Structure 1
């Protein structure tokens, strides 16, 4: 498809109270903005009449409608250039890089990549390439890969419905798979409420920043959904110039993989 849509621009005041709320949700004592802080700003607040059946804003403007209703955050690549100045206005510019419809093993797929650039004045803070996948309503689930067990560091976490609700509220994410159990099971075919892909990535980023002593570049890919009633183990091991990370469910399946680097040039 031809990507000739104009970028979307949103300005937002970086309210430090939202950072404090995110820290409380993630049970962090430090309220300094951590990597992925921009997820809780720049809301796309649409009225109910502008929402799709899944609770997301309807596509067809920046993202073309490819006739595939099921939306998933597939992964992304982030570069953290500068720290934000809280209390000041920042700008998010979103550009459509790719929107292609292809045939995959489980049916038709819509592959979308968005580029988000977060800035304050002339200072670039974050560059993020976000990958989305759209699938048919009746698309079958694929077979998840098995996760590695050779980590050198790990953390476990059990998600609650309260945590999923609070993260949805902080990110203004209306996707019903994260809070409407009947919709998640009966309409989209999941076993329960789905833990947000970016929330899993957020915990991996926190782990990577702690282990590396800083974080400048991060890339991740979702490989299987995690349900609210399933414990997750966040794993890491050293790799060339940084860390390899992944999320392992209790049954051994791999839910996400990632790579993290302390320097942009790594």
Structure 2
């Protein structure tokens, strides 16, 4: 493994954009009844769609066995076989527009080594700033968790979904939706589309629904029900969701202009928790 004491403070820079074709691919994957051309150059980009604007460009020889780019460059290799995008928080400073050039400045803020019982783990925090020619647009922290590959599936303790909410919608999940989201974000992690790998190597019971996909569906629902996109958004994965069941989107608006959100399985346990805020 490489030295991790120097990981904090590493920086990276990437340029990107969302084209009208990409917008149609995202919309067709996430939104029912999407009509091609619904967004045109210059239109405001829906929140979190910028995640498709900075695809990893590692060549095939630089891809690891899990489908991710190999570790040891910007992200450190900690000798742990499983890597997960576990959560994050965002502050939206200015709208992004379809077709405009974006620049992402990234820095490793912290790297903490922990123990989950007898299991070693590490929590890495990335800080991103998304700029356009008009100035800063998004400030974002991203949490990545490293764990060893397990020898069996041990689900976390389920957290019950709320029994009362302002809305409780259902979105179908299946291998096609998961593959399409992987494709449009250029996410090669095999747990989302390769069932043999997901069940035989990482020992999940089925294909895993992306955390960012769940977060995007939640912020989309929050925007629809509030009538405008939030200024802040925080999310955290607490239990895997799978392609073998549909996904519930649940939300409740509070008096302080924050909306408590979660995804949930039909049986009632939460997958991703989130909070959207309006000033």
TM-score under structure 2 normalisation? 0.89
C-alpha separation in 2, matches of 1:87 and 1:38 = 11
Q: Give the CA deviation at 1:202.
A: 0.6
Contact 2:8 2:111 (C-alpha < 8 Å) held by counterparts: no
Deviations 1:22-41 (A, max 9, x none): 11111254535210011111
Residue 179 (structure 2) pairs with residue 179 (structure 1)? no
Of the structure 1 ranges 241-250 and 180-189, higher mean CA displacement relative to structure 2 is found in 241-250
Aligned length: 263
Q: Give the CA deviation at 1:256.
A: 1.1
For residues 140-159 of structure 1, the aligned pairs below 5 Å read: 140-159=154-173
Of the structure 1 ranges 96-105 and 141-150, higher mean CA displacement relative to structure 2 is found in 141-150
C-alpha separation in 1, matches of 2:212 and 2:10 = 26
Q: Which segments of 5 or more consecutive residues in structure 2 lack a partner in the other structure?
A: none
- What is aligned with 1:21? 25
- What is aligned with 1:8? 12
C-alpha separation in 2, matches of 1:216 and 1:5 = 27
Contact 2:8 2:110 (C-alpha < 8 Å) held by counterparts: no
The correspondence for 2:67, drawn from 45, 48, 55, is 55
Q: Output the aligned Cα RMSD.
A: 1.6
Of the structure 1 ranges 2-11 and 250-259, higher mean CA displacement relative to structure 2 is found in 2-11
Residue 221 (structure 2) pairs with residue 207 (structure 1)? yes
C-alpha separation in 1, matches of 2:118 and 2:240 = 16
Q: Give the CA deviation at 1:91.
A: 0.5
Residue 249 (structure 2) pairs with residue 245 (structure 1)? no
Structure 2 SS opposite 1:116: strand
C-alpha separation in 1, matches of 2:242 and 2:72 = 29
Of the structure 1 ranges 29-38 and 196-205, higher mean CA displacement relative to structure 2 is found in 29-38
Contact 1:213 1:262 (C-alpha < 8 Å) held by counterparts: no
The correspondence for 2:147, drawn from 135, 155, 158, is 135
- What is aligned with 1:232? 247
Structure 1 SS opposite 2:184: helix
The correspondence for 1:223, drawn from 232, 238, 252, is 238
